[in-house]
C-alpha cells in the first residue's frame, strides 16, 4: 500500500520551498534583476570592485549562482565562500580555485607573481578573471587590504582583475570606516537587495509552486498571502520557511489550500520569538489605538446626546 505524501497531496513533483540557493527556482524580482545587471556590468566594463549587500536571506548567494552559471564559460571565476582567511590562505584559495599552479614555498610574492602571469595571459585572450567573495563581512581586515593590493594589478589601459564582494549590510558600514577609505573609493559598482513587496511575495510563491509542478499557481488565499508577507518582512528565506510549514499544516488538516490560521500556526513554529513579538506588538498597538478611539468616540457621542 502506498502512502500519500504531502507533495503528492498538492500535486507537487518537488519540494518548492527548500532553503538551498537553487538557480532552478530563481525568481527575478526587480531588485534581483537590477543587482544581476550590476554584476554583469562589473565584468563587461572591467570595473575594479563591485559591492552587493542585502539582509540575511534576501537572495545574495542565489543571485551569485545565477551570475556564475551565466559567466562560467566566458570567465575565470574564483568563488570564496568561507572568507575567514589570512591574506596568504586567501591567495592560496583563489589560485587553487582558478587552477593556477604556484610554488609550494607558500611565499606570497611567488604566488602573486604566478597570479599576475595568469591575469596577463587572460587579458590577452579577452577572458575576464573575477574573484567573488560571499559572506565578505567575515573577511579579516588584513585580507581586505590584500584584496585592495590585488586590485592594483592592472595594465596602463585596464584592470586585469574584477572583484565582487557580497555580504550583509554591515559590510558596507565596515568599508565606510576611515581605515578602508582607499578600498571604498575603488568600489565603482554598488547594488543592494531589499525584501520583496506584498505583490512580489505572492508572485514569488506562485513562481516556486509552478516550478515544483503545482497544478495551480497558488494554494494560498489572499489573507494567507498578506500574513506571510507581513510575518516574513518579505525576506525570501523566511517566506520559504513559513510557506512550507503552512502547506504542511493544511495537508495535516486535509485542506486543499492554505488560510490565515495555518500561516499563523506555522509561524509560531518557525519564526524566532522576536519576529513574532514584533508582529504581536504591532497588532496590539493597533488594537489599543482602535479601542481607545472607540471609547473617545462613545464619550463624545454620549456628551452630545446629553446636550
Ligand X SMILES: Nc1ncnc2c1ncn2[C@@H]1O[C@H](COP(=O)(O)OP(=O)(O)OP(=O)(O)O)[C@@H](O)[C@H]1O
- Kindly list the residues in this chain that would bind Mg ion in the complex (CB under 5 A): 60-61
Distance CA 226, CA 98 (A): 46
Q: How far is the CB of 5 from Mg ion (least distance, A)?
A: 29
Q: Closest CB to ligand X among 38 and 151?
A: 38
Dist CA 187 CA 194 (whole Å): 20
Task: Between 244 and 259, name the residue whose CB sits nearer to ligand X.
Answer: 244
Q: Is 240 in the site for ligand X (CB under 6 A)?
A: yes
Q: Which does 236 bind (CB under 5 to 8 A by kind): ligand X, Mg ion, none?
A: ligand X
Would you tell me the crossing angle of helices 60-71 and 30-44 to the nearest 10 degrees? 40
Using the rule CB under 6 A, is 67 a contact of ligand X?
Answer: no
- Among ligand X, Mg ion, none, the one that 237 touches (CB under a kind-dependent 5 to 8 A) is ligand X
Taking the least distance from each CB to Mg ion, the nearer of 60 and 245 is 60
Distance CA(97)–CA(153), nearest Å, equals 19
State yes or no: residue 143 binds ligand X (CB under 6 A).
no
Report, in Å, the least distance between residue 109 CB and ligand X.
Answer: 34
**Counting contacts by CB under 6 A, is residue 54 touching ligand X?**
yes
User: Is residue 251 exposed (0-12), middle (13-18) or buried (19+ Cβ within 10 Å)?
Assistant: buried
The footprint of ligand X (CB under 6 A) covers 19-22, 25-27, 29, 32, 54, 56-62, 168, 236-237, 240
Amino acid at each position: 500500500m502506498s502512502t500519500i505524501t504531502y507533495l503528492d497531496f498538492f500535486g507537487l513533483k518537488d519540494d518548492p520551498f527548500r532553503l538551498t540557493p537553487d538557480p532552478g527556482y530563481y525568481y527575478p524580482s526587480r531588485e534581483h534583476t537590477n543587482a544581476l545587471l550590476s554584476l554583469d556590468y562589473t565584468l563587461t566594463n572591467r570595473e575594479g570592485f563591485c559591492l552587493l549587500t542585502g539582509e540575511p536571506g534576501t537572495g545574495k548567494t542565489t543571485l551569485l549562482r545565477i551570475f556564475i552559471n551565466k559567466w562560467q564559460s566566458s570567465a575565470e571565476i574564483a568563488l570564496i565562500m568561507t572568507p575567514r582567511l589570512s591574506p596568504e590562505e586567501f591567495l592560496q584559495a583563489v589560485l587553487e580555485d582558478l587552477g593556477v599552479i604556484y610554488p609550494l614555498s607558500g611565499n606570497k610574492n611567488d604566488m602573486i607573481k604566478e597570479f599576475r602571469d595568469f591575469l596577463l595571459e587572460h587579458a590577452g585572450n579577452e577572458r575576464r578573471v573575477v574573484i567573488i567573495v560571499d559572506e565578505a563581512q567575515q573577511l579579516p581586515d588584513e585580507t581586505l587590504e590584500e584584496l585592495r593590493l590585488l586590485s592594483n594589478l592592472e595594465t596602463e589601459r585596464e584592470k586585469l582583475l574584477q572583484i565582487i564582494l557580497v555580504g550583509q549590510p554591515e559590510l558596507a558600514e565596515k568599508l565606510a570606516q576611515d581605515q578602508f577609505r582607499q578600498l571604498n573609493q575603488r568600489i565603482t559598482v554598488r547594488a543592494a537587495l531589499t525584501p520583496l513587496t506584498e505583490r512580489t511575495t505572492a508572485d514569488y510563491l506562485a513562481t516556486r509552486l509552478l516550478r515544483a509542478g503545482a497544478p495551480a499557481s497558488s494554494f494560498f488565499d489572499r489573507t494567507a498571502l498578506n500574513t506571510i508577507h507581513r510575518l516574513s518582512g518579505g525576506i525570501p528565506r523566511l517566506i520559504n520557511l513559513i510557506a512550507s510549514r503552512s502547506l504542511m499544516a493544511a495537508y495535516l488538516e486535509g485542506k486543499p489550500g492554505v488560510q490565515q490560521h495555518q500561516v499563523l500556526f506555522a509561524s509560531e513554529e518557525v519564526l524566532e520569538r522576536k519576529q513574532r513579538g514584533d508582529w504581536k506588538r504591532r497588532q496590539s498597538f493597533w488594537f489599543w489605538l482602535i479601542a481607545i478611539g472607540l471609547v473617545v468616540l462613545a464619550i463624545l457621542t454620549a456628551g452630545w446626546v446629553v446636550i
